[in-house]
Amino acid sequence: MILRAIENLDLPSQANQYNFDLLIDRISNGQCAVFVGSGLSVDVGYPSLQKLLREMATEAGLDLLQEKNISDDWMDDFQVIKETLGIERYRACLGEHFDDSTKNQQFNSILINLFNIPFCAYITTNYDPCLEFASQQTPSSPIRTNFTYPNLPVIELTHKHIFHIHGYVNPYNQDSVGSIVLSRDEYDDAYNNSRFVSDFLHVLFNEIDVVFIGFGWNDLVILDTISRAKETREVREDFATQRNFRLTRARNIFAIIDLETYERDRDHSNYLGTNGVRPIVYEKIAGNHNKLIYLVHEIQEKTSDIPITPMPSPPEGLIDIGENNE
C-alpha cells in the first residue's frame, strides 16, 4: 500500500504538519488561490526559463548568453536578446517555443487534480495554455474565464478564474504573444509604468491566501512584491494597535517545495523567513517529483469529494520511501 503523502512530508516535520493543516483549512473555506509555476509545464515540453534563455540566445547569436545560467539579471538578458532579434523576430521566436501544436500532450495531468481542488483562483506566470486545456477536460469545474495581462480585474479574484499575469500564447490568437512579460522593458511596463501586475499582486497577497506550486522562486519581482505586501501589513498592524482597531486576519502565503530547494533557500532573506512564506516540504526521489503528485492528491482528498485523477504507476522503491524518514 502506498503511504499517504502527509506521512511523507519532510523537514521540519512539526512546522510542515501545521502549515499543511492550515492550508487545508484555508482551501476548505474557499479562501485560497493557487499560484502555478513553470515546473508543471516542463514535462509537457515547454521550456524552463533557463532553457528559454539559452535557446533564444542561440537564435540571436549571443554566445555568452548561451552559456549563462539564470541569475538575478535574467530580465536584462532577455532585453539584450529582444534588441538583437528585433521585436518581430523576438515575438515570433516566443510563439514558436510556446506553440502547443508542437507538444506531445496538452497539459500535465496534475493540473486536473488542481482544478478539482476548490481554489478560489488560478494564478500563473506561465506563457503556455496548459491551464486552459486542463480546465476544458475537467467536467466538474465551473465555466472559467481566462484573464491575461493587461486585463487583470481584481474583482474576479475569488470566482475560480485563470489569470496569466505575465501574458501567454493563446492557441487561437496569434497576436497574444505580444502580451508576454519577459524582458526588462516589459517588466517595467507591467510593474512600474502601468502597475497592472503590481497592483493585482498587491491585492492578491493582502486579501487572499495563496499557495505556490511548481514555482522556481527566481522571479525577484514577484519576491519583492511579496515582501512589500508583508511590509504593508505590518504598517497596518502598527496603526491599528495605536488606535485600538481590529484588523482582519493576516493572509498566508504557502510554498509547496522540494527539500533541496528548502535547504538551499531557508536561510536566505528571500521568501523563507523574512517574507513569512510557509513551506510545505517534500523530497524528490531520483530527481522526480512524484511525492508532489501524491501531496496534491492528499489535498484534494481533504478538500473535495471529486475522485482523484489516476496517475501512472510510481517508480520502483517509492512505496517504501516512508520507512527511510521515520
Kindly tell me if the per-residue pLDDT of 227 is higher than 90. no
Pairwise pLDDT comparison (161 vs 71), residue with the higher score: 161
Grid cell at residue 17? 504538519
What residue type is 61 in one-letter code?
Answer: G
pTM (2 d.p.): 0.88
- Express each pLDDT in 189-211 by its tens digit: 999 999 999 999 999 999 999 99
- Express each pLDDT in 23-46 by its tens digit: 999 999 998 999 999 889 998 999
Residue in 162, 102, 112 with CA at minimum distance from that of residue 134:
112
Give me the mean pLDDT over the 82-99 stretch.
Answer: 96
Residue in 184, 206, 191 with CA at minimum distance from that of residue 150:
191
Kindly tell me if the per-residue pLDDT of 287 is higher than 80. no
- Express each pLDDT in 144-173 by its tens digit: 899 999 999 999 999 999 999 999 999 999
Q: Report, at the CATH architecture level, how domain 8-46+105-304 is classified.
A: 3-Layer(aba) Sandwich (3.40)
Given a contact cutoff of 8 angstroms between Cβ atoms, the answer to whether 37 and 125 are in contact is yes
- Express each pLDDT in 253-276 by its tens digit: 999 988 887 877 666 555 566 778
Sign of CA dihedral 162, 168, 173, 178: positive
From CA 7, how far away is CA 198, in angstroms rounded?
38
pLDDT-based confidence at residue 317 (cuts at 50, 70, 90): very low
**Which residues make beta-bridge pairs with 258?**
282
Give me the mean pLDDT over the 120-124 stretch.
Answer: 96
From CA 217, how far away is CA 196, in angstroms rounded?
21
Radius of gyration for the alpha carbons in the chain, expressed in angstroms and rounded: 20
pLDDT, position 4:
46
- Express each pLDDT in 51-70 by its tens digit: 999 999 999 999 999 888 88
Q: pLDDT over 70 for what percent of the chain?
A: 85
Kindly tell me if the per-residue pLDDT of 6 is higher than 50. no
pLDDT, position 268:
58
From CA 208, how far away is CA 232, in angstroms rounded?
14
Identify the weakest region by mean pLDDT among 74-78, 149-153, 215-219: 215-219
Give me the mean pLDDT over the 74-98 stretch.
Answer: 96
Kindly tell me if the per-residue pLDDT of 73 is higher than 60. yes
Given a contact cutoff of 8 angstroms between Cβ atoms, the answer to whether 183 and 127 are in contact is no
pLDDT, position 69:
86
Q: Report residue 59: phi and psi, to 5°.
A: -60, -35
Q: pLDDT over 90 for what percent of the chain?
A: 54
Q: Where exactly are the structural domains of the chain? A: 8-46+105-304, 47-97
